[in-house]
Amino acid sequence: MKRIILSAVVLVVIVSALAWVAKANTARHATLISDKPDYHPGETVKLTGTGWQPGEKVAIVMVVDPLTHGAITLNAVADDAGNVTNSLYVVQRSDINVTFNVTAKGDKGSTAQMTFTDHATITINIVGTGTVTSTGGDQGNLNCTTGNSGTCSQYYSGGDSVTLTAAPISSTFGSWATTSGTTYCSGTTTPCGPFSISNGSSNDSSITVTFVSKKRKGQTIVGQLESIKGEAAPRGL
């Protein structure tokens, strides 16, 4: 009888322990986030996380896409509440136009993943004769010019307030048309903006700017004279 009671007590203890472990595992879900979704070169990336095991040593590996440099490894140790933080990485100019894929792994088995970016690109397609310039870019501005037609692009950081201006050359301004990506400009008035650049490469935009060529007055007059001569000519000749 004592053996049965002892076995029952042991079983209860084991079940309780397993339930506690399961509850602890369920309650702890490691996370990692950055303080901003998009950064300018020169800014410091602040990474924070929760749900790690107290005292867990965490290796944070950042890989850029496209691959402009090698992986960056940062380290953190979880405090008694399971929180981690790291503010050691400063965004470089070589990080422009990349996405950071971040993986964090702890020595007690916890893991977390996240991404952040350093760009959004506007591409201008010019049809006709004219120029397109921009103002407000923290890292640079567009200065597109063409004798007939052409394309150029410029990267911007999230939050930049940008204005695009179209200037005809022996033509008149026709329209803005977004051909792909985020719509920043449309319609038939210039300048376009100011508008705020959305974060990340998913908010890239390709914009076609159309200039309409002007008819020369001489060509119009000659055409009218030819029409009058034709009407004045005797019939049957």
pLDDT of 199 reads: 65
pLDDT of 97 reads: 72
pLDDT of 155 reads: 77
pLDDT of 87 reads: 97
pLDDT of 56 reads: 97
Domains of the chain are 30-117 (2.60.40.10), 120-214 (2.60.40)
Q: How far apart are CA 167 and CA 189, in angstroms?
A: 11
pLDDT of 159 reads: 77
pLDDT of 220 reads: 47
Closest CA relative to residue 159, chosen from 115, 199, 117, 200 = 199
Q: What is the pTM of this model?
A: 0.55
Cβ distance 182 to 205 under 8 Å? Answer: yes
pLDDT of 48 reads: 97
pLDDT of 202 reads: 62
Give the pair of three-digit tokens for residue 197: 């650049």
Q: Provide the mean pLDDT of the chain.
A: 81
pLDDT of 235 reads: 54
Q: Count CB neighbours of 213 within 10 A.
A: 13
pLDDT of 7 reads: 56
Average pLDDT per run of 10 along the chain, which is 237 residues long? 53 51 57 87 92 97 92 97 96 82 96 85 90 83 71 78 93 94 93 84 83 69 49 52
* Three-class DSSP labels, 110-153: CEEEEEEECCEEEEEEEECCEEEEEECCCCCCCEEEECCEEEEE
Ramachandran area for residue 236 (φ above 0: left; ψ -120 to 50: alpha; else beta): left
CA distances from 12 to 1, 4, 22, 84 (A): 17, 12, 15, 36
Q: Count CB neighbours of 162 within 10 A.
A: 23
